[in-house]
């Protein structure tokens, strides 16, 4: 006959801690990639091998003299990448450089714009959950973002050529152009499925 012992409770708590630590690493994974296979597999391996890896590292941690600075560097990279990908920076840039010709009016609330504005989640990528309200027409792209909040920008209509909307992406290093690409979609909202043509790199 089987009987549960306190050891079973300890085992359950250990497994729960594995799952919690694996879930805690999800934001860090999304800071590095949006590839579903990598996200899922990294969490599965974290659940299966986290405890064993801790015992392995504990046995050789004295020899890993660069472990702490390397870990600090990785965390700093992830934090910096998450900070720079936050669209709230656009509102800060507009506040500090009001009227700059290379910036769109950007605020955290839509009241400054009236009826026409573009609504973007702070952390969305490639058009997800973007809403364009312009001249009485509303265009929206589905997605899983928005709980983190939004920014609101002025509308800058894209040119239309036969029902297609191209947008130019330009990379600037210092004061010099380092590359340019053209993305085109059948919608004014550029998505991850939009057509892309690299034009010039130096």
pLDDT tens digit string along 8-27?
A: 788 787 777 777 776 766 76
- List residues bridging with 170 in a β-sheet: 180
The pLDDT score that the predictor gives to residue 175 is 79
The pLDDT score that the predictor gives to residue 140 is 93
The pLDDT score that the predictor gives to residue 75 is 87
Residue 53 lies in a domain: yes
How far does CA 19 lie from the centroid of its chain? 23
- Residue environment code for 61-100, b if the CB has 16+ CB neighbours within 10 A, otherwise e: eeeeeeeeeeeeeeeeebeeeeeeeebbebbeebeeeeee
Contact of 152 with 107, CB cutoff 8 Å: yes
Structure-block tokens of residue 167: 């947008």
- List residues bridging with 164 in a β-sheet: 161
Residues 61 and 117 in one domain: no
The pLDDT score that the predictor gives to residue 200 is 62
Structure-block tokens of residue 104: 């769109």
| H/E run at residue 28 | helix 26-32
The owner of tokens 């709980």 is 147
The pLDDT score that the predictor gives to residue 92 is 94
- List residues bridging with 171 in a β-sheet: 179
Residues 75 and 96 in one domain: no
The pLDDT score that the predictor gives to residue 71 is 86
How far does CA 116 lie from the centroid of its chain? 26
Does 28 or 171 have the greater pLDDT score?
171
Residues 14 and 77 in one domain: yes
Residues 20 and 42 in one domain: yes
Residue 171 lies in a domain: yes
Residues 11 and 37 in one domain: yes
Residues 11 and 74 in one domain: yes
The pLDDT score that the predictor gives to residue 5 is 79
Residues 93 and 153 in one domain: yes
pLDDT band, residue 80 (cuts 50/70/90): confident
Q: Is the pLDDT of residue 51 over 70?
A: no
Mean local confidence (pLDDT), 130-138: 92
pTM above 0.75, yes or no: no
Structure-block tokens of residue 164: 């297609």
The pLDDT score that the predictor gives to residue 116 is 94
The total domain count for the chain is: 3
Residues 54 and 105 in one domain: no
Contact of 89 with 120, CB cutoff 8 Å: no
Residues 11 and 80 in one domain: yes
Highest mean pLDDT among 11-15, 150-154, 198-202: 150-154
Mean local confidence (pLDDT), 183-189: 92
Residue 112 lies in a domain: yes
> End of a domain among 25, 54, 84?
84
Residue 125 lies in a domain: yes
What domain range is 127 assigned to?
Answer: 86-157
Residue 1 lies in a domain: no
Residue 66 lies in a domain: yes
The pLDDT score that the predictor gives to residue 130 is 95
pLDDT tens by residue, 158-168: 999 999 999 98
| H/E run at residue 137 | strand 137-140
Residues 100 and 80 in one domain: no
The pLDDT score that the predictor gives to residue 99 is 92
| H/E run at residue 12 | helix 6-24
- List residues bridging with 169 in a β-sheet: 181
Calculate ∠ Cα 95-27-90, nearest 5°. 10
Residues 142 and 129 in one domain: yes
């Amino acid at each position: 006959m089987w009987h549960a012992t306190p050891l079973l409770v300890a085992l359950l708590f250990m497994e729960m801690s594995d799952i919690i630590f694996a879930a805690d690493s999800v934001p860090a994974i999304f800071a590095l990639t949006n590839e579903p296979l990598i996200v899922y597999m990294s969490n599965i391996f974290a659940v299966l091998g986290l405890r064993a890896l801790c015992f392995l590292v504990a046995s050789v941690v004295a020899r890993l003299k660069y472990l702490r600075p390397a870990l600090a560097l990785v965390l700093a990279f992830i934090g910096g990448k998450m900070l720079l990908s936050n669209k709230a920076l656009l509102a800060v840039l507009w506040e500090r450089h009001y009227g700059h010709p290379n910036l769109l009016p950007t605020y955290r609330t839509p009241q400054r714009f009236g009826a026409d504005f573009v609504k973007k989640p702070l952390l969305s990528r490639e058009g997800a959950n973007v809403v364009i309200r312009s001249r009485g027409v509303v265009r929206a792209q589905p997605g899983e973002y928005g709980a983190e909040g939004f920014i609101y920008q002025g509308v800058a209509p894209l040119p239309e050529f036969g029902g297609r909307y191209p947008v130019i992406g330009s990379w600037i290093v210092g004061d010099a152009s380092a590359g340019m690409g053209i993305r085109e979609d059948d919608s004014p909202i550029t998505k991850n499925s939009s057509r892309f043509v690299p034009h010039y790199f130096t």
